[in-house]
Amino acid sequence: MKNLLLLLPLYARRKGGLLLALFCALATVAAGVGLLGVSGWFLTGAALAGAGGAFNLFAPSALVRGLSFLRIVSRYADRVVGHAATLRLLADLRAAVFAALIRLTPRQLARYRDGDLVARMTGDVDALDTVFLFVLAPLATALLAGSILTAVLGYWVPAAALAVALALLAACVLVPLWLLRAARKPGAAAQESAAGLRAAMLDAVDGHADMVALHAQAQTIEHFERLCEASAAARRSQAWVAARGQFFLQAAAGASVLALLWFGLDTLESGRITGPVLVGLLLAVIGIFEVAGPIMRGASRMGSAMSAAARIREVTHCEPDMQDPDTPQALPSHGALELDRVRFSYPGRTSGIGPAVLEDVSLSVAPGERVAIMGPSGAGKSTLLHLLLRLEDPQAGQVRFGGCDARACAQADWHRRIALLPQDAPVFLGTLRTNLLIGDPEADDAALWRALDAARLGDFVRGLPDGLDTWAGETGSQLSAGQARRLCLARALLSPAEVIVLDEPTAGLDAAAEEAFFQDLQAAARGRAVVLATHAALPPGAVDRCCELRAGKLHELSWGTAILA
């Protein structure tokens, strides 16, 4: 239950809407229960008047009309206000989860499957609407309305009032607590299976070509069917829990009716209550137990809600691996980028630190200089770039810009000095303009065109009917591989960074597109420093210096060696 405490700050922020939703729900319950009670009183009194008794028809008929109208209005307001408040809560929670994910390092995010993160943002957040809509709001209205009805019963039939109060307490509190315990295991299984289904779906879409090539569709379908069966079993268990709750609810309602009849008939015989009033109270008691129905359904889903809250809390309470210092040092606007005797190892499976990926590596990149880091796949090129970008911190040595240690300054300042173009840089769903503005949200059209021209993509975009507002398509499907790579380069060039880091920028390009990319690199960089990690052969003039990573060591290469690499 403590995991649900993460909702308290959100509830406090939206307390106005939640209190209004509770008021509308209470008005709906009061109008519904009152309508049943007044209708029973009215119909019974009218029947007795027809048999020769005296009864004022005007007051109850006016109450029936008034309560009917109030119930319609309050029920509509309850649905609108309650769901609006819940949707705002879910929006706030999604924003909080996304903000927590954004501040984590790539290594921390790599511990989660893509589908699992999507599940936490969607399915787990959606599961938490149960807490307010089906538990807190119905419970509060049931207890308040039940207290009022118990007070009314206590005036007419005190003994029956006690029995009804105990039955309401059992139906609204004790039974839901028992259901909550019973729903924990199937609720957790339901959330885990839902997350597994999302992950399997994303894996199947991403790896569809490989599955077809390897004839692995049957195994994939079988795995997905097992996940579906596990999800169905968990949902059936939740349904059984809800069914047991409904059984106890009906039993409590029946016991209350019998108690009211038992004590109420004695009161009727003694003349302390009239027949129409007794019938009205009887129908009101039946109506009040209808409020407990959503509580039973909500309690059966609370297992999912608690599991979802635990999964979300794991993300929101996860602290980033790297923190800014308490008093960050100001970073100069210009300067050399340096690695000084750096050592780095990834965590080992059995011990704290694994074998060294980089050992005693030193490198200095002067302002405006272009340096290539070469080497085979797995040599540590991407790791070295991660250190330059401060996506990782070395176990020994320093990474400096303008003489300032990366760990002594704010991460945001460091990332404003160094921009990254990774080999899998995404083209986001949107227009060419929205993709470019990621590099600099304040850039005007003139700046966008300068970046496109520097990346040798300006003439192509000018030839498009919609220009900058051309739809890029899903993952850049409307562009060729070379055009997508140049669009991402233009996006990196828009940033105010003094150093541009390129990680295998020509991966997946044909020889002609690769050579053209390298030949345009100097003009595109426009005097900014470039650090390029690649295993491709470089044309003359593409960079100023070449280094090679071998066995964790960095070695300077001659130009002839670099061209033949």
Convert the pLDDT of each residue in 159-168 to its tens digit.
Answer: 999 999 999 9
Q: At which residue do the structure tokens 């008939």 appear?
A: 265
> What confidence tier does 348 reach under pLDDT thresholds 50, 70, 90?
low
Q: What is the DSSP letter of 270?
A: T
> What confidence tier does 514 reach under pLDDT thresholds 50, 70, 90?
confident
Give the pLDDT confidence of 170-192 residue by residue, as tens digits.
Answer: 998 899 989 888 888 898 888 88
Q: Which of 12-26, 120-134, 285-299, 431-445 has the lowest mean pLDDT?
A: 120-134
Instruction: Look at 537 and 276; give whichever has higher pLDDT.
Output: 276
Residue 55 has a pLDDT of 59
Q: What is the mean pLDDT of residues 296-319?
A: 84
Q: What is the mean pLDDT of residues 539-561?
A: 79
Cβ partners under 8 Å of residue 522, min gap 6: 370, 541, 542
Q: Which of 146-160, 341-355, 482-496 has the lowest mean pLDDT?
A: 341-355
Q: At which residue do the structure tokens 């809600």 appear?
A: 305
Residue 416 has a pLDDT of 86
The answer to pTM > 0.75 is no
Residue pair 337/529 in contact (Cβ under 8 Å)? The answer is yes
Query: Token pair for residue 487?
Result: 């669009």
Instruction: Look at 232 and 3; give whichever has higher pLDDT.
Output: 232
- Reduced to 3 states, what is the DSSP secondary structure of residue 501? strand
The answer, yes or no, to whether residue 453 has pLDDT greater than 70, is yes
Q: Which of 149-158, 323-332, 341-350 has the lowest mean pLDDT?
A: 341-350
How far, in Å, CA of 457 to CA of 50, rounded? 91
The answer, yes or no, to whether residue 564 has pLDDT greater than 50, is no
Instruction: Look at 455 and 561; give whichever has higher pLDDT.
Output: 455
- Domains of the chain and CATH, by start: 2-316 (1.20.1560.10), 366-396+406-564 (3.40.50.300)
> What confidence tier does 483 reach under pLDDT thresholds 50, 70, 90?
confident
> What confidence tier does 72 reach under pLDDT thresholds 50, 70, 90?
very high
User: For the chain, what percent of residues have pLDDT higher than 90?
Assistant: 13
The answer, yes or no, to whether residue 526 has pLDDT greater than 80, is no
Q: What is the mean pLDDT of residues 67-84?
A: 90
* Sheet of 553-557, strands arranged across: 418-421, 499-503, 529-534, 370-374, 545-550, 553-557
The answer, yes or no, to whether residue 341 has pLDDT greater than 80, is yes
Q: What is the mean pLDDT of residues 363-381?
A: 86
**How do strand 370-374 and strand 529-534 relate by DSSP bridges?**
parallel
Q: Which of 209-218, 302-311, 472-481 has the lowest mean pLDDT?
A: 472-481
How far, in Å, CA of 365 to CA of 381, rounded? 16
- Mean pLDDT estimate for the chain: 84
Query: Token pair for residue 526?
Result: 């426009």
Q: Which H, E and C letters describe 119-150, residue by residue?
A: HHHCHHHHHCHHHHHHHHHHHHHHHHHHHHHH
How far, in Å, CA of 181 to CA of 214, rounded? 46
